[in-house]
Chain A
Amino acid sequence: MNLNLDFATIFERWPAFLQGALLTLQLAFIATALGTVIGVLGAIGRRSSHPIVARICGIYVEVIRNTPLLVQIFLVYFGLASLGLKFSAFAVAAAALTINVGAYTTEIIRAGFDSIPRGQIEAAEGLALSRAQIYWYVVMWPAIEKVYPSLTSQFVLLMLASSVTSQISAEELTAVANYIQSDTYRAFETYILVAIVYIILSLVMRAGFWLLGLVIFPRRRRLGTPL
């Protein structure tokens, strides 16, 4: 057995890797931001006293959680195409990832909402706050603080899963790697390097979420105790 690794030819392509990594981060950022919005709205919808709204949100979550991401991506990709709409592969990938992670965040945030004691909400009602104000000030912030670790793990998972969008030729990190390895015939080296870049991206994201947590949860920052 003779393992002959040649990283030099791979390292030469670093600008392409960097491009791919940045695109992966962009996808992750867009899907995290929009997915959070969808998650909050979806969680409110699932808890709605309006049965149709609650039902629609429930179906959305179940459909997404019970189908493969790749199939969801193809559905968005070919669905838009069959409607005669032309979007870039990046836009389609961002949309599909957002729809996907939105369902998972809906469930996570809903669990957070459900963990807010009834008494907190009654106290807020007793102070004459409106429903929207109660959701915003009394339910959402502590709920998100409670589920923040699950939420951020989900977003890191999503970043890793975004490699699947290489299938519709979004030019993210894995697609770049696929191209480089077929060009250089150095497949093993390429994917070792790609794995390392993904690890770095994960660490970057975790550090980012940690910093964000310090900013948006002042109580946590000051006391360090879980809510």
Chain B
Amino acid sequence: MHKITRTDTASSVVGLSNVHKSFGALKVLNGVSFEVNRGEVLVLIGRSGSGKSTALRCIDRFETIDSGEIVVCGHRVSDPKLNLRALRQDVGIVFQSYNLFPHLTIEENITLAPCSVKGISKAQAKEQARRVLAQVGLEDKLHQYPEQLSGGQQQRAAIARSLAMQPKVMLFDEVTSALDPELTGEVLKVIEALAADGMTMVMVTHEMGFARGIANRVVFMHHGKVHETGPAAILTSPATPELAQFVGTGL
């Protein structure tokens, strides 16, 4: 199994070591360790309930851990004195249910955080909104409201909103699971372009073909543990019977 020796190397963006996490009596993470270096794409896969979302949410401190250590962009996430908002300026997170703010236009959705968190000017933020929307192919939707967009467009807008904060790492949790197959492709293309641009990413996905194409590293979670990890090739030639069974059914 993957072993982390150093989590503070210059190129390490996300490092989990021996992370344990329970919800009440339910042990969800049982000694999880993995590391993501700058520019890498790590794909988390595993059965429903294996703890993928929980692991991802721990990185951005949406869940607190019971023991172990998480270091993200130099922030010690497990430290109770963590500067949470500083961490979250470095980490972008996109959820399955896009969660755009329904009462704001796409432009307002995107400029809200840069203006109120980073304090950049309205004009600058609007300029940047145009740029990130172009990046996801939605420059014409600037003044629309979320409900006027399709699911795929809303998800791309949500990605753009995260990008506007210029994060050092992006987390994606099954961002295409709520979408029809024909809308899934447009979102995956955006993520591929981000990866090609060198964005560091951790993503949970059930799209195995996509994972094979984009992953620098795959982490297969099983019963709260990293059961198998390696390059994308492990998806085609798994070493453990559990992963073999998972990709067999998952394809």
Please report A residues at the B interface, Cβ cutoff 8 Å: 117, 119-120, 122-130, 133, 137-138, 141-142, 145, 217, 219, 222-223, 225, 227
Contacts and interface: CB of A to CB of B under 8 A. Distances in A.
Nearest to A222: B145
Given A119-B99, A125-B88, A223 B148 contact: yes
Contact of A126 (B93, B100, B105): B93
Interface stretch (B74-82, B110-118, B243-251): B110-118
Q: Which of B89, B97, B116 has the most CB of A within 10 A?
A: B116
Given A127-B88, A137-B112, A120 B148 contact: no
B112 A127 contact: yes
Contacts of A127: 88, 112-113, 117, 161-162, 165
Nearest to A119: B99
B97 A119 contact: yes
21 contacts: A117-B99, A119-B99, A120-B101, A122-B62, A122-B95, A122-B99, A123-B95, A123-B99, A127-B112, A127-B162, A127-B165, A128-B85, A128-B86, A128-B113, A137-B101, A142-B101, A142-B103, A219-B145, A223-B145, A223-B147, A227-B103
A222 B143 CA distance: 11
B41 to A, nearest CB: 19
Q: Which of B93, B113, B161 has the most CB of A within 10 A?
A: B113
Contacts of A130: 85, 117
B151 interface: no
Contacts of B198: none
A218 to B, nearest CB: 8
A215 to B, nearest CB: 14
A113 B89 CA distance: 26
A117 B91 CA distance: 22
Contact of B103 (A117, A119, A123, A219): A219
A12 to B, nearest CB: 51
A135 to B, nearest CB: 12
B60 interface: yes
Contacts of B165: 127-128
Contacts of A217: 103
